[in-house]
Structure 1
């Protein structure tokens, strides 16, 4: 067996007991620590193959323990556990050398999967690459990239792993998914922080001007070149260049980009001198580069040089659990930018936003929120403030959306209420949640029964007179067929 001895460090006795029982049942030797100091002492005096550390413990935190252990045991693989699924924690843990990052509560299958990954990793190498322990400055990702969905947590972990190195990264995703934000996150969590980050959209610049934008030009190189100009690669020297929509780059320029990657030098248009540049390249595209390679529209050798570490951003429709977080973030930003009083979304509006397909992804959501903030004078945004979204849902699509809206509404309000339990009076959670879902629930059931109150009362499990009273109190309009 490649993996024999495991350390579990957590200040919760129940967590230590569950993990130790499960791991010992699988034949592992397990030692337990209740705080960071005890964990460090055990690591100093024993040999472990894996350490599972809680991020918040008395003594040393899990992150501090990562730093200290890396100085002593370069081959010890460490997994960080946390009850707070924040992007900052995920990125910081992976940057400091964590092997993986898991969020409580989790199934024991997750631990099994991690152990399997450790087995495979030890078959390939006996040491993990030590990530950079500390950055002189931090780019606060959590204020820019929003999302706690599984897909986004994987992105955060990849950023943490790849940022300290200089490998080329290819970010792929639909328009509006935030590819440039990911590129900036990589740069500002790398050793190149403090150096330039230069972004260039290859699709936004005419082909005959793109070369001079990238590589610069000498005075007199062409009509209008009245003085020397440095290209983007020289401007980014020592830092990172972000080549957005690289799939639109002409083939002749692709060859020159490949030369920069191989030779680490550029030549200005109209010049003959080779100029050395130290630049990390992060490229992005919303196209299928492999398909372009098959069509001979993109160089195969350049594709493989760019695709060293791929990051795939999923569209917003595939991570709808992140929509409420994004809505709150964009509302706060829009109100501050436009200098208007704070606004919030009603539960019905939030449910509508959550179920929309968002073909324009995060960018479309941001613009939609900003438009609503500008046009609405009410501090509470309702579905009527998002008419374009409601208009797109008809027939079976509307029915499916209603189903999802109710589910999203209940889930959202329940989570919000439970989060603020400490601020509520005893016994208030029932009334709070019920009050906020009663109207959409009754309206939802009546729409399903085509306004049949007898059938609706049966489904709801209430008296017909009670239902009629609720309809009047809540101002619910009945459909007229």
Structure 2
């Protein structure tokens, strides 16, 4: 009969102390193990939230090597387990080392039952709070939108958003620094929409994407007849942003001669079109972005220092996706919902392995890479759930330690059921035949694993 009491694992080779601790904890289902092997077996089988661990285990009862090996293995299997280590007299250094390695707390030997009981209760309370926080984050995380369109729950990105909102109505130029694919244009649009200029146009130009001989015309416009092919007077991007915001992406790619002309505009707030002689006043806010090291370019003589200080009155550094804790999974869910509607409505979510792979991937291409991989995954997915292979992500599963055989079997069952349903277009009878089981058994498995045909 399964007990409703919380499980407490005691790893202790002293049988007398084992019995003493077992009798002291009537509120828990107490499991006990005298060595590393049996302790790991019990952890895999029962997954207790809290463990008390004596570092002096056989075959090294007078040392701590076996205890630390047990601690490391337990945390690799169940990182959220609260492990409380025993510290004998004169062994405080080992206890502190264990805490640095991931243990929750330590207790002194000889054991004070009341003191240890208090530590155990605190550990269970913290474990419960952490579980509840994870459940809340899963429920509310997807709806976290800032600056109108930026989806994030990461403190690092929320800090950036607060900075953007704070400077939105200030009469200053803003420079956004960040790697390619981090969402610089999205933030620039958010700044525009948060400002009093939102009624004007948001005009963006990628300075790296336009040939040097055409960039001046794109920015400043030209008069009819100014050069061969100029068959009519054309306003440049600066004029088109009148009353609004001009976003200069990859500003570090502007050639030096054009930097002089842009500096003059920032100082005087007037422009002259190519081939024109009339000064045209333009009221626009400049926001620029780059992934280049502009101070290094200034030192090398390829970027003007005076222009830099005109453009960088406020500098905002954007974290990479790998630095935005939790956002990769959050954004993956957002892209799945968006692309599934357009391309493959059958796709409804992710396998646990895919979620783990998304969270662990370094995302060198940042949000742009995640978006591209998600688009491909939605198109390529065979069943309702996206798997790591759909994302073309290496999960390192061959090296991972499964918690127990039950978890391995459940994941294998889920994969087999989803493939069978996909191949039979959700026909239960045909899927059951493919799997070699009866229809009632398949229905039971569908309910057990929460799979919706």
| TM-score normalised to structure 1 length | 0.53
2:220–2:272: 8 Å Cα contact kept in structure 1? yes
- Match of residue 301 from structure 1: 306
Say which SS state the counterpart of residue 353 (structure 1) adopts. helix
Q: Give the C-alpha shift of residue 144 in structure 1.
A: 2.6
Alignment of 1:65-104 (within 5 A): none
Alignment of 1:428-467 (within 5 A): 438-439=407-408
Q: 1:255 aligns with which of 249, 256, 260?
A: 260
C-alpha separation between the residues in 2 aligned to 1:380 and 1:201? Answer: 37
C-alpha change, 1:346 and 1:364, in structure 2 (3 Å) is same
- Match of residue 314 from structure 1: 319
Alignment of 1:27-106 (within 5 A): none
Q: Give the C-alpha shift of residue 439 in structure 1.
A: 3.0
Q: Give the C-alpha shift of residue 234 in structure 1.
A: 0.5
**CA-to-partner distance for each residue in 1:411-451, whole Å, 9 max, x for gaps?**
xxxxxxxxxxxxxxxxxxxxxxx99x9339999xxxxxxxx
Q: Give the C-alpha shift of residue 353 in structure 1.
A: 1.2
- Match of residue 159 from structure 1: 164
Alignment of 1:164-313 (within 5 A): 164-313=169-318
Q: Give the C-alpha shift of residue 88 in structure 1.
A: 9.5
Q: 2:374 aligns with which of 365, 369, 373?
A: 369
Q: How many residue pairs are counted as aligned between the two chains? A: 276
C-alpha separation between the residues in 1 aligned to 2:288 and 2:409? Answer: 45
- Match of residue 343 from structure 2: 338
**CA-to-partner distance for each residue in 1:306-335, whole Å, 9 max, x for gaps?**
111111111111224111110100101111
Say which SS state the counterpart of residue 390 (structure 1) adopts. coil
| TM-score normalised to structure 2 length | 0.57
C-alpha change, 1:177 and 1:142, in structure 2 (3 Å) is same
C-alpha change, 1:144 and 1:252, in structure 2 (3 Å) is same
Q: Give the C-alpha shift of residue 145 in structure 1.
A: 1.3
User: Which runs of 5 or more structure 2 residues have no equivalent in the other structure?
Assistant: 1-136, 413-444, 446-453
Q: Give the C-alpha shift of residue 165 in structure 1.
A: 1.6
Q: Work out whether 1:390 is the aligned partner of 2:398.
A: no
C-alpha change, 1:85 and 1:292, in structure 2 (3 Å) is farther
- Match of residue 326 from structure 1: 331
User: Which runs of 5 or more structure 1 residues have no equivalent in the other structure?
Assistant: 1-82, 90-139, 411-433, 444-472, 474-481
C-alpha separation between the residues in 1 aligned to 2:346 and 2:142? Answer: 29
Say which SS state the counterpart of residue 284 (structure 1) adopts. strand
Say which SS state the counterpart of residue 188 (structure 1) adopts. helix
**CA-to-partner distance for each residue in 1:146-197, whole Å, 9 max, x for gaps?**
2111210111110110111221000010000000000000000000012100
